[in-house]
Amino acid sequence: MFMELIALLSTGKGTWGQIAGLVKRGEWDKVIIISSEFFKPTINKLDFAKKAEIIYIDFNKDIKLSIEQLKEKLKTKIQGIEVALSIASGSGREHMALISALLQLPVGINFIVLTKEGLIRL
């Protein structure tokens, strides 16, 4: 089965480490990182980001516009019928926009988290 990881990389203490661990420890056919332009200089220096396709979104705009931008940018990137999704990083507003965009594409969502026991699908 083709499995893609979509990870929101934004704010939150320790969340970038969570994303790094998911990218490194998972067996992904494709990794897509969603972030804002604000983090572009930092993300480009991270080893795990080199294994990913990065999509930048301006989450400061109207939430409906953020959803439309996400749908437009993701519709040609997602190849499977479901994705593994990490929203450990970011704000509720960013989470709502990303989840809404994925459901409207439509694509199935499996939430994923890295714990001491390893990768867990929720």
Find the CATH number of the domain harbouring 112. Answer: 3.40.50.10770
Q: What is the pLDDT of residue 2?
A: 65
Averaged pLDDT, 97-117: 95
Averaged pLDDT, 73-82: 94
pTM of the model: 0.91
pLDDT at 83 > cutoff 80: yes
d(CA 48, CA 43): 9
117: containing domain: 4-121
Side-chain-side CA neighbours of 122 within 13 Å: the count stands at 9
Above pLDDT 90, what percent of the chain?
A: 62
Domain count, the chain: 1
